[in-house]
Amino acid sequence: MKTQFKTQSENSTLVFKRWNRKSYSVFNSLKKIIKITTLALSYTIVLLPIKVLSQTDTTITKNLDLEEVVVSAQKAPIIYSQLSRMVTVINDDEIKLMPVQSVDELLENFSGLDIRQRGANGIQSDISIRGGSFDQNLILLNGVNITDPQTGHHSLNLPIDLNSVERIEILEGPGSRVFGPNAFSGAINIITNQSEQNYTKVGFTAGDFGLFSGNFTSSYKLGNTKHFLSVSRSESKGYTENTDFRQYNVYYNSNFNSKNGNVDFQIGYTNKEFGANSFYTPEYPDQFEEIKTTFTSLKFETGDKIKLIPSVYFRRHQDRFELFRYEPASWYSGHNYHLTDVYGIKLDSRITTKLGTTSFGAELRSENIWSNVLGESMNDTINAIGEPDGFYSRNYSRTISNYFLEQTVFIGKFSMSAGVLASWVSTNNFDFNIYPGVDLGYSFKNYFRLFLTANRSLRLPTFTDLYYNGPSNVGNPDLKPEEAWSFEGGLKYNNKILQSHLSYFLRDASNVIEWVRDISADENLKWETQNLTNVKTNGFTFNNKINLNKYTVDNIRLNYTFIDQEASTDNNNFDTKYSLNYLKHNLIINLNQTIYKNLKLLWSFRYQDRAGSYLKYDFNINDYIGDQEFDPYWLFDAKISYRFSIVNVFAEASNILNKSYSDIGNIAMPGRWFKAGFNVKFDY
């Protein structure tokens, strides 16, 4: 059915805007709100973070297929049938129903992702997209890059809890030409409150293993300003020895609209203290870690036909790692202390003409670390900030500048976006690296869309890659960036009952940073980080959502991703340590039911089969006993909830079958865990 886009229909499940605008949606070309009923979205026209049309342009009468999307009456349209590149969007309604307590646990319910948790409730997780490493993806908070340059272990140290998240957008595949370095295998944008309604919400959760959490969120609109405040705290005694944790978050976001433009400001702080049982080595299980992260950004958006969006941001991460929490060995010289500071300034702009949309901009980013372990030796030591017994004796800094240009064209049912990123790193011989890409799409038969993409991406070495020297490994300060060509083709189908997509992807990566050593070397020889590894990744994703609304079943999701990797080294005499450790089979089934009126029930089934092996450690004899392959396993979770007028109560259980499993070798994950709680929301 064809009709004009101007409609008052509100029967949809998702609202999204651009990643780098007030609402920070991944689809940077969208200056208007869109409501979509599918998870399988894309960003053929994402490109750069600015508006396509004038803020005052609300009278367009372009014909759209509303079987695919529902567009709000006051925003310009971009329809699903014109989008390419797969982007999974998790909306607020889905988040509330899921049997999870953290962003990490939520992401684990989507098949293109591999979330390797070291503990419960989002204490620390390594996230990979389509078989990439945990350092090969970009994390954004409300469209601002918060990726940690020290190590990907810290990129999900967020100043918010799950109750503050309104939407998460997952770009499956490379995004370097759009977002800059490190969007090597994908990107994740976490979006907080976008509500125009005034409300205050208070929630509490309690459960096994001494779990208790509380949260407070409030959104208030006053004149041309909007304010959002979130405070949360959680703690647990731990599901086994030395897995206790305490964490709290404070986050504030404000937005000011005027005829001259829009100003957006956000600031947040998180603190985590946790027992890190065998996190980095099983030989010393009594590890402990405390992290503190401060983040802030300021963005201004102005212009009509030529849209300009300058922004600045700052992120500080502090980390204290204790190899011995209680009784240190006689040879132990002290804890590891790290402080990283990241400063950034960015300008995005866009011009729309009869020839299409031209997007261009630049970013300057400074990454710095002070440490007693990582970096180059300083002449004098300095006291560690906030650590009475800590000091820094090493430091390292680098500057990154990115310049991007992209053109988007729509011709009937055909769309094309082509662009290039030029990236310069101060430590890379002052050479520019060029990363081009193109996305093509074609819609037909009302509900179908074909797409093809080809993109080149890069990933810079982390400070850990460059400088960490430990008992079994040694860093390499001469590492080069990783590079890859990625290709993808797929077919999407979307109507009111079924949203489905099937895609095949191939990534050919070179100069991959990996720990290597000679095959014939003694097992006590250290692994060294080198650019000698090449990894070819191919696979397919088949995602489906069936909207039934019959027999108490609202919808069923069935998502499956298959990945196969082949690693080789430039020198066949070298062996690699981690390249082939990835999630080969990942099947996820979610069943969402409305039992009676406001009584909701969600069932989650996950099957994971991991390729590769790890060195098994026997805690009874305190020694390694040889290589062990990862065992495949099923996990079964469920959540039931009921909403009264202003109160929502829930009970959930994770790992109901009490399955023994691990995401990372030698680190046992929790068994069956029951939780229950409630939240109260006041609208005014």
Lookup: tokens for 110 = 């989507």
Give the neighbor-by-neighbor strand order of the sheet with 87-91. Answer: 40-41, 87-91, 165-172, 186-192, 137-141, 144-145
Q: Is 70 exposed, middle or buried (0-12, 13-18, 19+ CB in 10 A)?
A: buried
> For residue 2, is it within any domain?
no
Q: Which of 409-413, 426-430, 486-490, 582-586 has the lowest average pLDDT? A: 426-430
> For residue 25, is it within any domain?
no
- End-to-end, the C-alpha distance of the chain in Å comes to 39
> For residue 29, is it within any domain?
no
**C-alpha pair distances (Å), 534 with each of 76, 130, 186, 461:** 44, 16, 18, 15
Looking up residue 276, the CATH number of its domain turns out to be: 2.40.170.20
Whether 52 has a pLDDT exceeding 50, the answer reads: no
Whether 77 has a pLDDT exceeding 60, the answer reads: no
* Strands 498-518, 482-494: pairing kind: antiparallel
pLDDT range class, residue 83, cuts 50, 70, 90: low
Q: Which of 2-11, 214-223, 433-442, 510-519 has the lowest average pLDDT? A: 2-11
513 is in which domain, residue-wise? 34-683
Whether 129 has a pLDDT exceeding 70, the answer reads: yes
DSSP letter (8 states) at residue 665: T
DSSP letter (8 states) at residue 429: T
Q: How far apart are CA 566 and CA 576, in angstroms?
A: 12
CA 140 to chain CA centroid, Å, is: 7
pLDDT range class, residue 47, cuts 50, 70, 90: very low
What is the predicted pLDDT for the residue at 579? Answer: 65
Q: What's the whole-model pTM score?
A: 0.87
> For residue 11, is it within any domain?
no
> For residue 440, is it within any domain?
yes
Whether 141 has a pLDDT exceeding 50, the answer reads: yes
Radius of gyration (Cα) for the chain, nearest Å? 24
Whether 647 has a pLDDT exceeding 50, the answer reads: yes
Q: Which of 23-27, 158-162, 392-396, 662-666 has the lowest average pLDDT? A: 23-27
What is the predicted pLDDT for the residue at 41? Answer: 34
pLDDT range class, residue 260, cuts 50, 70, 90: confident
Higher pLDDT, 428 or 454: 454
What is the predicted pLDDT for the residue at 82? Answer: 60
Confirm if 248 and 235 have CB atoms less than 8 A apart.
no
pLDDT range class, residue 325, cuts 50, 70, 90: very high
Q: How far apart are CA 320 and CA 385, in angstroms?
A: 11
Q: How far apart are CA 65 and CA 475, in angstroms?
A: 55
Contacts of 645 (CB under 8 A, 6+ apart): none
Domain count, the chain: 1
Residue at 353: amino acid letter: T
Lookup: tokens for 417 = 């976006």
Whether 571 has a pLDDT exceeding 90, the answer reads: no
For residues 203-216, average pLDDT: 97
> Residues 523-545: pLDDT tens digits?
667 888 889 889 999 999 999 99
> For residue 6, is it within any domain?
no
Higher pLDDT, 130 or 514: 130
> For residue 17, is it within any domain?
no
pLDDT range class, residue 342, cuts 50, 70, 90: very high
Lookup: tokens for 326 = 């209680």
> For residue 462, is it within any domain?
yes
pLDDT range class, residue 517, cuts 50, 70, 90: confident
What is the predicted pLDDT for the residue at 523? Answer: 66
pLDDT range class, residue 233, cuts 50, 70, 90: very high
> Residues 236-249: pLDDT tens digits?
999 999 999 999 99
